[in-house]
Chains A and B, each alone.
Chain A
Amino acid sequence: MTRYIAQRLLILPLLMVIYSFVIFLIIQAPPGDFLTAYVATLASSGSSISADQIAALRHQYGLDQPFLVQYFLWMQNLLHGDFGLSLEYQRPNADLISEQLGLTLALALFSFVLTWAIAVPAGIYSATHPRSLIDHVLTVINYVGVATPNFMLALILMWLAFAYFDINVSGLFSPEFVDAPWSFARVGDLLFHIWLPGLVLGIAGTARLSRIMRANLLDELNKPYVVTARAKGMREWRLVLRYPVRLAFNPLVSTIGWYLPALFSGSLIVATVMNLPNIGPLLLRALINQDMYLAGGILLIYSFLTIVGTLLSDVLLALLDPRIRVES
């Protein structure tokens, strides 16, 4: 096992180099560069900039260099731990990303916990009481949850909150708390605002998870070992939780690693629609504005987390289920 992990880790730097090149290629693929996008932004808000000044800025930002030169400069800086300067913000990318990290993680963990806390019990209940009234209700909710795009759900909930309760639920803080220092009042304000985005972000995951849980558990519940245990007089809830549920967890655990990049990203569209101050909108804007080093930095971190997350899943799975072993 240790050998397997070591192998996987050794291959990581190679993968990162390949990813970095692909990322840079894709970011550079749209026509124009940061300044084309900048000019377009200015023109679309009723102002303008002279050609001389664009040329000067293009030179200053090094955008007049060939693709490969730009890539190697970027890599060189990355190897020194330098994520470079954001073209749009004129501030170091590392600062911009780390500033958003806290709230991004808080929101993601909140919705992650919410997802599992709802999905697992709901899945178990549905499986142990198949075709009961509550199972049917949960099934309907689940299908709607899976089928509705979550940004749509966000818009509907925001509109309902505005139209019927006259509250604006965008953002994670009330205006007076946005740039206030941390205090109990601010945490309270965050908790008041975080439930809606948490719910929106979690709902599709909840639906999917509980369907998987239900299906897996139903398969397990009819197996002979369950019947045997039941015949031997084992208490029902203890039996279910101890054996079939553990097995039914396998597919869930194998996807847990995917949560790692998702935790970091925040849901891009939902966060943009709901005006959440996390990394999602930062990435979206960086891509639209062709702020390539910022976008590249964020995507590179995603890639890293995806690789690590997959590895983590594999390891967890092996720990949970003794039947899974590395083939030599």
Chain B
Amino acid sequence: MVRDVKRRVALIGLAAGAGVLATGSSVLAQAGRYKEAASVTELVRAGKLPAIEARLPENPLVVPVVERVGEYGGIWRRAFLGPADSNNYIRVVYDSLFRFSPDGAKIEPKIAAGAESSADYKVWTINLRKGSRWSDGAPFTADDILFWYTDVLLNKELTPTLPGWIRNADGSAAKVEKASETAVRFTYLAPATLFLTAVANQDGADRTFAMFLPAHYLKKFHPAHAAKADIDKVAAAAGFKTWTELFANRNAPPENPERPTMAAWAPISRASDPIFTLRRNPYYVGVDTAGNQLPYIDEVRFTFFADVQALNLAAIAGNFDMQERHINMTNYPVLKDQEKTGKYRIITWPTFGGADAVIAINQTYAADPVMGKVMATKDFRVALSFAINRDQIKESVFLGLGEARQGVPAPWHPYFPGAEWAQKYTEFKRDEANKLLDGIGLTKKDAQGFRLLSNGKPATIEISVVPAFGAWPDVALLVGKDWEAVGIKTIVQIRERALHFKMGENNELMAEVWNEDTSAFPYTGNAKVDPRNAPILTMGPLWRRWYATSGKDGVEPPPEMKRIVEIVDKARTVGPEEQIKLSQELYRNWADNVYEIGTIGLTPMVQGVVVAAAKFRNVPTTLGNDWPLRSPGNARTEQFFFSK
């Protein structure tokens, strides 16, 4: 199912390299032939909106369409799980300067017109579209980025710790200057080859401040621009204790419809309302290939569901026009069956590499030092990997979708280390597993056939599992059965997720089932291969402490793991060619050491089962699906439409 995107893609992001990224069609602009929705024309006639030429920038973003040029109108019905699910909104609008392309292979300009870097990647200039406007009609300029930099990023109260992407190695912030009304220059001390990859994720997700903010609106809530006493009064009246709470709330579009945005749709109600509604932004910078201003769809309505099962039932009933988020893959057969009624079609977007259920083995488990030492032995992990019957897991848990693999990038990604590494140790070889276990001295067995440790106790491993994406407990049970067959006693413990995370943080988990996503992004965000990151898989909590305390506390990682960390640090500063080489080395190392044992990958498990109404069009049938890609945002949602 993923074969059709198998082609090797140009390198993520830094394909832009020292060149210029720019789209936009001046031909259209000269012709002056932009078209708009009838409802917008009415507002223009009534004098409530300026004409389309005055609303669009000089060089609008031209958005390619998936099937055909669409028609205006309609309400896109979706579902969400309330305010904590605001990433649902974030992913639909993907309100950023740059965004990932649908296949996840490139980074393309969105709100911004383009970017260029110096030959050494230390200086980056982002060019904005001249004449672009916020959803309230105010001009969007370099000052909106400078406001973020000066008054938000460098304000200790609003930003206590600098995010990694804007931080130099010495802890200082990269320099940001206004080059012109429509250009902003970023200067780093070291080469920042992954600059655009980071910029493509600056969209206010996860309660952060995006790198461009509506200065004209937010200044009245910031003490550098307004009287502190007045702000405090507003804060107190709204029930906030400090100005920073007020500022964060006023800046969050899902909680404040007044806050202008640059996205194709802007909220007109709040995420804490029973229905969270977005309405077309008449100032959106994008047009289709025929010059029709986007978006096609008038409104997006997120209906609140308190319960995921109720949401899935409504999806099966066909109550949504397009929904992939929270659709449980275990409902895939039912959905396929209902597809026959013609109400909707089912599209699958497999995960963007990695594996959809891995068993991470804690390499620094301290509660039982004897077992901990065994778990930190490579042959033990290899034996456990060989012992797993992945065909059975694939058929019974993943409905026959996907393939057996370790947690490395997908075959079409430049970081892919090669099939022999993706499939390393994934064959079902019980004899080989037994031989390896004998080889590390676990030869004595008790009456039940469990191998005995040097202290005479049976070798026992506990898999902690959270039913986060459906059927992980089943994966754990099948794996447990396979491990017991080679003499390793396995306890499967299903836990409430907050408890599971807390135990992971405290180094109390022996092993856990989770997924290995973001494998295409080992150097940005919160990559799972980097043991310094948290909160991630429970691979080595004490390694993290070792790095955090510069070696004073915790456990020193083995040379292989140190090499991974070295690669992560180095790859951030080298050119594209070398970065690919380093990444492949990283994943060869990763697959070979099986700190986490991959089972099945490339399935639509994570938000990848799409239920789209029959008349809801321009939804791509293949899509890079991952959190950094903000899928379905990278499907260019503004060109979705309802056919009449």
Tell me if chain B binds chain A: yes
- A residues with CB within 8 A of B: 30-32, 36-57, 59-60, 82, 85, 88-92, 94-96, 158, 162, 166, 168, 170-171, 173, 175, 178-179, 271-275, 277, 281, 284-285, 289-290
Q: Which residue of B lies closest to A91 (CB)?
A: B272
Q: Is the interface of B mostly helix, strand, loop or mixed?
A: loop
Whether the Cβ atoms of A53 and B206 lie closer than 8 Å is yes
Whether the Cβ atoms of B83 and A88 lie closer than 8 Å is yes
Mind listing 6 A-B residue pairs with CB under 8 Å? A31-B503, A37-B498, A46-B626, A170-B314, A175-B303, A285-B306
List, in ascending order, chain A residues with CB within 8 A of B255's CB. Answer: 89-91
Interface presence of B468 (CB below 8 A): yes
Whether the Cβ atoms of B535 and A51 lie closer than 8 Å is yes
Whether the Cβ atoms of B313 and A162 lie closer than 8 Å is yes
Query: Assuming A54-B535, A275-B307, is B469 touching A44 (CB within 8 A)?
Result: yes
Q: Which residue of B lies closest to A32 (CB)?
A: B502
Whether the Cβ atoms of B87 and A45 lie closer than 8 Å is yes
- Looking at A53, A59, A92, the one whose CB has the most chain B CB atoms below 10 A away is A53
B206-231 vs A, Cβ < 8 Å mask (1 yes, 0 no): 11100000000000000000000000
Stretch of B7-15, B242-250, B404-412, B478-486 at the chain-chain interface: B242-250
Whether the Cβ atoms of A272 and B303 lie closer than 8 Å is no
Whether the Cβ atoms of B498 and A275 lie closer than 8 Å is no
Q: Which residue of B lies closest to A40 (CB)?
A: B497
User: Could you say which of A42, A45, A158 contacts B325, with CB atoms under 8 Å apart?
Assistant: A45
Interface presence of B42 (CB below 8 A): no
Report the Cα distance A170→B306, complex, angstroms: 11
Besides A60-B160, A281-B306, 12 more A-B contacts (Cβ < 8 Å) are A38-B84, A43-B497, A48-B206, A48-B526, A50-B525, A57-B207, A90-B83, A91-B239, A91-B272, A178-B275, A179-B277, A284-B306
Q: How far is the CB of B164 from chain A (nearest CB, A)?
A: 7
Q: How many A-B residue pairs have CB under 8 A?
A: 157
- Looking at A54, A90, A168, the one whose CB has the most chain B CB atoms below 10 A away is A90
List, in ascending order, chain A residues with CB within 8 A of B627's CB. Answer: 46-48
Q: How far is the CB of A308 from chain B (nearest CB, A)?
A: 26
Report the Cα distance A158→B313, complex, angstroms: 10
Whether the Cβ atoms of B500 and A46 lie closer than 8 Å is no
Q: Which residue of B lies closest to A90 (CB)?
A: B249
Give the size range of B's interface with the partner.
Answer: 35 or more
List, in ascending order, chain A residues with CB within 8 A of B466's CB. Answer: 40, 44
User: Could you say which of A49, A57, A275, A285 contacts B526, with CB atoms under 8 Å apart?
Assistant: A49
User: Could you say which of A31, A45, A179, A289 contacts B607, with CB atoms under 8 Å apart?
Assistant: A45
Q: How far is the CB of B330 from chain A (nearest CB, A)?
A: 15
User: Could you say which of B163, B325, B500, B502 contacts A52, with CB atoms under 8 Å apart?
Assistant: B163
Whether the Cβ atoms of A275 and B305 lie closer than 8 Å is yes
Report the Cα distance A287→B333, complex, angstroms: 33
Report the Cα distance A271→B310, complex, angstroms: 11
Report the Cα distance A285→B82, complex, angstroms: 10
- B152-192 contacts to A, CB under 8 A, are 159-161, 163-164
User: Could you say which of A89, A90, A175 contacts B248, with CB atoms under 8 Å apart?
Assistant: A90
Interface presence of B279 (CB below 8 A): no
Query: Assuming A46-B517, A175-B77, is B249 touching A91 (CB within 8 A)?
Result: yes
List, in ascending order, chain B residues with CB within 8 A of A179's CB. Answer: 269, 273-275, 277
Interface presence of B326 (CB below 8 A): yes
Interface presence of B5 (CB below 8 A): no
Whether the Cβ atoms of A53 and B161 lie closer than 8 Å is yes
List, in ascending order, chain A residues with CB within 8 A of B432's CB. Answer: none
Whether the Cβ atoms of B307 and A272 lie closer than 8 Å is yes
Whether the Cβ atoms of B160 and A56 lie closer than 8 Å is yes
Whether the Cβ atoms of A45 and B303 lie closer than 8 Å is no
Whether the Cβ atoms of B83 and A89 lie closer than 8 Å is yes
User: Could you say which of B239, B314, B535 contacts A95, with CB atoms under 8 Å apart?
Assistant: B239
Whether the Cβ atoms of B240 and A85 lie closer than 8 Å is yes
List, in ascending order, chain A residues with CB within 8 A of B161's CB. Answer: 52-53, 55-56
Q: Which residue of B lies closest to A173 (CB)?
A: B274
Interface presence of B446 (CB below 8 A): no
Whether the Cβ atoms of B307 and A41 lie closer than 8 Å is no
Query: Assuming A51-B533, A90-B249, A179-B274, is B319 touching A168 (CB within 8 A)?
Result: yes
- B132-161 contacts to A, CB under 8 A, are 159-161
User: Could you say which of A40, A171, A281 contacts B501, with CB atoms under 8 Å apart?
Assistant: A40
Report the Cα distance A171→B303, complex, angstroms: 10
Q: How far is the CB of B380 from chain A (nearest CB, A)?
A: 27
Interface presence of B534 (CB below 8 A): yes
Whether the Cβ atoms of B239 and A178 lie closer than 8 Å is no
Whether the Cβ atoms of A39 and B307 lie closer than 8 Å is no
Q: How far is the CB of B74 from chain A (nearest CB, A)?
A: 14
- B588-630 contacts to A, CB under 8 A, are 606-607, 626-627
**4 interchain residue pairs of minimum CB distance:** A92-B239, A44-B468, A40-B497, A281-B306
Q: Which residue of A lies closest to B269 (CB)?
A: A179
Q: How far is the CB of B576 from chain A (nearest CB, A)?
A: 25
Report the Cα distance A27→B637, complex, angstroms: 41
Q: Which residue of A lies closest to B310 (CB)?
A: A275
List, in ascending order, chain B residues with CB within 8 A of A45's CB. Answer: 85, 87, 325-326, 607
User: Could you say which of A59, A91, A95, A289 contacts B84, with CB atoms under 8 Å apart?
Assistant: A289
- Looking at B245, B275, B277, the one whose CB has the most chain A CB atoms below 10 A away is B275
Report the Cα distance A171→B518, complex, angstroms: 36
Q: How far is the CB of A27 from chain B (nearest CB, A)?
A: 13
- Looking at A39, A59, A168, the one whose CB has the most chain B CB atoms below 10 A away is A39
Q: How far is the CB of B92 from chain A (nearest CB, A)?
A: 14
Whether the Cβ atoms of A60 and B244 lie closer than 8 Å is yes
Report the Cα distance A183→B9, complex, angstroms: 56
User: Could you say which of A31, A90, A275 contacts B306, with CB atoms under 8 Å apart?
Assistant: A275
List, in ascending order, chain A residues with CB within 8 A of B241's CB. Answer: 85
Interface presence of B367 (CB below 8 A): no
Report the Cα distance A281→B311, complex, angstroms: 14
Whether the Cβ atoms of B533 and A32 lie closer than 8 Å is no
Q: How far is the CB of A263 from chain B (nearest CB, A)?
A: 20
Report the Cα distance A48→B626, complex, angstroms: 11
List, in ascending order, chain A residues with CB within 8 A of B310's CB. Answer: 170, 273-275
Whether the Cβ atoms of A168 and B499 lie closer than 8 Å is no
Whether the Cβ atoms of A43 and B501 lie closer than 8 Å is yes
Interface presence of B252 (CB below 8 A): yes
Interface presence of B130 (CB below 8 A): no
Whether the Cβ atoms of B275 and A36 lie closer than 8 Å is no
Q: How far is the CB of B182 from chain A (nearest CB, A)?
A: 30
List, in ascending order, chain B residues with CB within 8 A of A37's CB. Answer: 497-498
Report the Cα distance A44→B535, complex, angstroms: 12
Q: Which residue of A lies closest to B205 (CB)?
A: A47
Whether the Cβ atoms of B499 and A32 lie closer than 8 Å is yes
List, in ascending order, chain B residues with CB within 8 A of A60's CB. Answer: 160, 244
Q: How far is the CB of B516 from chain A (nearest CB, A)?
A: 12
Whether the Cβ atoms of A36 and B498 lie closer than 8 Å is yes
Whether the Cβ atoms of B208 and A53 lie closer than 8 Å is yes
Interface presence of B35 (CB below 8 A): no
List, in ascending order, chain A residues with CB within 8 A of B514's CB. Answer: 43
- B267-283 contacts to A, CB under 8 A, are 269, 272-275, 277
Whether the Cβ atoms of A94 and B517 lie closer than 8 Å is no
Whether the Cβ atoms of B498 and A32 lie closer than 8 Å is yes
Report the Cα distance A284→B304, complex, angstroms: 15
Whether the Cβ atoms of A40 and B534 lie closer than 8 Å is no
Interface presence of B301 (CB below 8 A): yes
Q: Which residue of A lies closest to B159 (CB)?
A: A56
- Looking at A43, A55, A171, A284, the one whose CB has the most chain B CB atoms below 10 A away is A43
Whether the Cβ atoms of A42 and B277 lie closer than 8 Å is no
